[in-house]
Chain A
């Protein structure tokens, strides 16, 4: 069930209505049932995988906690580690089979072929369970938190099951921390006008990002990337620039809708994006982009690997491992791995060049805190991140290289001016609307960057102004959104991960 589908627009009000009508004691069970139904709408059988992951991490949590008492410290640690390892192994075996097995076999076949070995391992072509990477990571985060003693093991299986399957963030995040979500599931806030308003505003903003911007931009990007042999040079440059906005709107749109839906249910989810394209370095970008995942990798992979505590070389190695795995998390293809490694490499190069940059800035008398310098750094960061997105968007790594080559070598600068850009799926009016939308997003991100909360500004207005703002937002989304008949609601890009 997509957030921008009619099913969800019927499902969600029913869930809220019943949620607030029934006694608080049983609300959790209602949410759990709704969450499982939400997941089963996509593929009923795969709910077993969700249940498997839930059971494994629930039991491992209890076992880890049990290991905390009784035996000797060394033995306890060994037992706890064993539980964590078992939980990781069992949990990761599911995405391994469904997501990475074919990729591994395919890669093996390529190697065997190169070595002229006449063996061909069969591929399984399994349907990828929606959101598997998200709920697996959330559940594993819980295991780690219990192991580290940051949270006690959850005794109530149903509450824990709801933590793993909470439908607003089940299939595309944010990947919530157990400390934050489990606690709230225990005692969700009551419905207030403020939470309803805030939730609705968030959802509307999310829908705007998704159906007005992301899906509109997708038309252009898909046209150009779908035929990059024809659409070269400027077309590819524009499409690549727009893809950066598309994936941001798509993913952050989904996250914001999830936050809004949860807010209405009295649950506050974490911010997943903090104006990432205003970041002044790639490292800062990753502190602002998909924060819940970046934080997960930082806390459960990068730091356990040693982080930056074991020397510079080890730090760089850890960065590359973390970003390589992050790439693999996003997709079972070498192009994703390259995308991840590229982002890791940017940070390493940035770190290595830091003294040089500082000296150059001092020599050229560039003020590090000036707006112009800040803008320049943001522009460079955007350029680097966007270049890496080419690997993310292209079908294969080879295609990505060819796209970059065609971007640079093709000479068709007149395309900027002669209206050809309006022939790529979006006519002039749609293209203009898209640009206005991007401008609005930019303004909203600047507000976010400056810690100006637009929702609070709306909240300070009279009731009529608040209501009219929401009504106008709905109207704009309905009118300008890419939805409805003839429009095959494109899956949110992040569903495939």
Chain B
């Protein structure tokens, strides 16, 4: 009897140790994209009034932390890379089991697509983090045809055990998304260009439209307000048809609809992350700003700032801003850096050496410098044409912009302190900030090595947080 009991004890211990080891390895080996992106939402879905749904277009275009900062809106970007509309439908269904949003904002891209899932890998990246419950089981039942294939979504060790050789620090210290599900992309690409709006609108049916109807009807049945959008990108004529079809469907159901292809919110030539589909940080901020104003105007959304339940959000925003700065600082290409600084969280001083051939690259860089100021830098072109030095101080706190061309000097009191720019006739240039003694410009009478020099100031704290110089030939950071 005793022997038997001991055997059972050891068998139980073995099973326990085995299960614990397997559980640990399952967690460890999962690359964690899904966990990183949606962990915050899964932990407390009740906090969110607005859910943004869709695919990567939405992930890259709407930044909930900006909406929090500007309007006190509590939102989460639940969109996922490669989501087709059926996947989005099921993500919404899953989200609604733990969240009761007032508004759902849904991007209608890929409306024409017949497949429910783009690739299994992308679906993993979206749903691996979702704890298994009845809703997830239903989701898998609908999205994955082969029952055997569903198992890998129930126990993802079946997929990831193969990456034991790839384990690194990131796997042991998984980072959490600081952008409430969004993703700022830091690159600038030449876009393919937006096709002309087609004259004819053809209402079509597809798997996408079928599930869009289900989303609309589900929201209506639950009294959740729904805003359909079609986010901006270099859409082809066929993709335009999706936007127009979505418009028709929105009309049919009496749902508001924003077709960003029709709205001049972004400039795709500087706001594209890749040639075709995605917005970069600058484009995303513009869409977020537009959408924020629209939501503020058309919906009665609560301003949660100062509420106890949201006490951590200001700190979240602080970390989010630090993250953006860190991201910008890590960039070595001038175009990416300029794009990232087109952000209301930062003030900056920009010096451009007139002799440097950066002026020979007007198409690439000048629009990005202009973009920094929201198109208010009026003397940029003048400097470009004359080939003279250009200096810009952007004080967003005060809403002020100061420009110098050639040998003009400047001394002004900004929100972040005094800015003193001196342009000597001998060609020397100096910049002193906040009554400090450090000269931020490295331009001697013999000229400077850097074509462009930029100083970044955190708008909230007024601290100088970054300073970079860029090479005159390749516009690569030389720091």
**A contact residues vs B (CB 8 Å cutoff):** 6, 193, 427, 429-430, 433, 463-464, 467-468, 470-471, 474-475, 478-487
Extra inter-chain contacts (5) besides given A484-B159, A487-B162, CB under 8 Å: A467-B13, A471-B15, A480-B164, A483-B158, A485-B159
When the two chains form their complex, are residues B6 and A468 in contact, meaning their CB atoms are under 8 A apart? no
Interface presence of B14 (CB below 8 A): yes
Contact of B10 among A463, A479, A485, A486 (CB under 8 A): A463
Residue of B nearest to A474 (CB): B18
Interface presence of B120 (CB below 8 A): yes
When the two chains form their complex, are residues A484 and B162 in contact, meaning their CB atoms are under 8 A apart? yes
Min CB distance, A406 to chain B, in Å?
30
User: Can you name 7 A-B pairs with beta carbons within 8 Å?
Assistant: A463-B6, A467-B11, A474-B18, A475-B22, A480-B161, A484-B159, A486-B159
Neighbouring A residues of B10 by C-beta, 8 Å:
463-464, 467
* C-alpha spacing A437/B18, complex, angstroms: 22
Neighbouring A residues of B157 by C-beta, 8 Å:
478, 484
Write out, one digit per residue, whether chain B residues 103-117 have a CB within 8 A of any chain A CB (1) or not (0).
Answer: 000000000000000
When the two chains form their complex, are residues B151 and A6 in contact, meaning their CB atoms are under 8 A apart? yes
* C-alpha spacing A486/B159, complex, angstroms: 7
When the two chains form their complex, are residues B21 and A475 in contact, meaning their CB atoms are under 8 A apart? yes
Interface presence of B210 (CB below 8 A): no
- How many residue pairs, one in A and one in B, have C-beta atoms under 8 Å apart? 56
When the two chains form their complex, are residues A467 and B161 in contact, meaning their CB atoms are under 8 A apart? no
* C-alpha spacing A98/B148, complex, angstroms: 31
When the two chains form their complex, are residues B25 and A479 in contact, meaning their CB atoms are under 8 A apart? yes
Neighbouring B residues of A429 by C-beta, 8 Å:
165
Contact of B149 among A467, A468, A485 (CB under 8 A): A485
Residue of A nearest to B6 (CB): A463
* C-alpha spacing A488/B273, complex, angstroms: 36
Interface presence of B267 (CB below 8 A): no
Min CB distance, A429 to chain B, in Å?
4
Neighbouring A residues of B21 by C-beta, 8 Å:
471, 475
Neighbouring A residues of B22 by C-beta, 8 Å:
475, 478
* C-alpha spacing A485/B6, complex, angstroms: 38
* C-alpha spacing A484/B7, complex, angstroms: 32
When the two chains form their complex, are residues B152 and A485 in contact, meaning their CB atoms are under 8 A apart? yes
When the two chains form their complex, are residues B162 and A486 in contact, meaning their CB atoms are under 8 A apart? yes
Please classify how large the interface on chain B is, using the bins under 10, 10 to 19, 20 to 34, 35 or more: 20 to 34
Residue of A nearest to B151 (CB): A6
When the two chains form their complex, are residues A467 and B159 in contact, meaning their CB atoms are under 8 A apart? no
Contact of A479 among B17, B148, B164 (CB under 8 A): B164
Neighbouring A residues of B14 by C-beta, 8 Å:
464, 467-468, 470-471
* C-alpha spacing A471/B157, complex, angstroms: 17
Neighbouring B residues of A471 by C-beta, 8 Å:
14-15, 17-18, 21
Neighbouring A residues of B18 by C-beta, 8 Å:
471, 474-475
Contact of B17 among A468, A482, A487 (CB under 8 A): A468
Residue of B nearest to A431 (CB): B165
Residue of A nearest to B121 (CB): A486
Within 8 A of A (CB), among B152-183: 152, 157-159, 161-162, 164-165
Min CB distance, A474 to chain B, in Å?
7
Min CB distance, B273 to chain A, in Å?
28
Residue of B nearest to A463 (CB): B10
Min CB distance, B148 to chain A, in Å?
6
Contact of A464 among B13, B15, B120 (CB under 8 A): B13
Min CB distance, A419 to chain B, in Å?
15
Min CB distance, A362 to chain B, in Å?
52
When the two chains form their complex, are residues A478 and B161 in contact, meaning their CB atoms are under 8 A apart? yes
Residue of B nearest to A430 (CB): B165
When the two chains form their complex, are residues B165 and A427 in contact, meaning their CB atoms are under 8 A apart? yes
Residue of A nearest to B166 (CB): A429
* C-alpha spacing A485/B163, complex, angstroms: 12
Residue of A nearest to B152 (CB): A485
Neighbouring B residues of A468 by C-beta, 8 Å:
14, 17
* C-alpha spacing A182/B152, complex, angstroms: 41
Residue of B nearest to A467 (CB): B14
Within 8 A of A (CB), among B284-335: none
Q: Which 5 A-B pairs have the closest CB atoms?
A: A429-B165, A484-B158, A467-B14, A485-B152, A471-B18
* C-alpha spacing A471/B120, complex, angstroms: 31
* C-alpha spacing A123/B149, complex, angstroms: 37
Contact of A484 among B11, B13, B120, B152 (CB under 8 A): B152
Select the residue from A468, A478, A480, A487 with max chain B CB neighbours within 10 A: A478
Neighbouring B residues of A485 by C-beta, 8 Å:
120, 149, 152, 158-159
When the two chains form their complex, are residues B161 and A484 in contact, meaning their CB atoms are under 8 A apart? yes
* C-alpha spacing A248/B314, complex, angstroms: 63
Min CB distance, B3 to chain A, in Å?
9
Neighbouring A residues of B120 by C-beta, 8 Å:
485
Neighbouring A residues of B17 by C-beta, 8 Å:
468, 471
Within 8 A of A (CB), among B4-59: 6-7, 10-11, 13-15, 17-18, 21-22, 25
Residue of A nearest to B157 (CB): A478
Neighbouring A residues of B15 by C-beta, 8 Å:
471
Min CB distance, A207 to chain B, in Å?
14
Within 8 A of A (CB), among B335-357: none
* C-alpha spacing A468/B7, complex, angstroms: 12
Given contacts A6-B148, A463-B6, is CB(A479)–CB(B165) below 8 Å? no
When the two chains form their complex, are residues A479 and B159 in contact, meaning their CB atoms are under 8 A apart? no
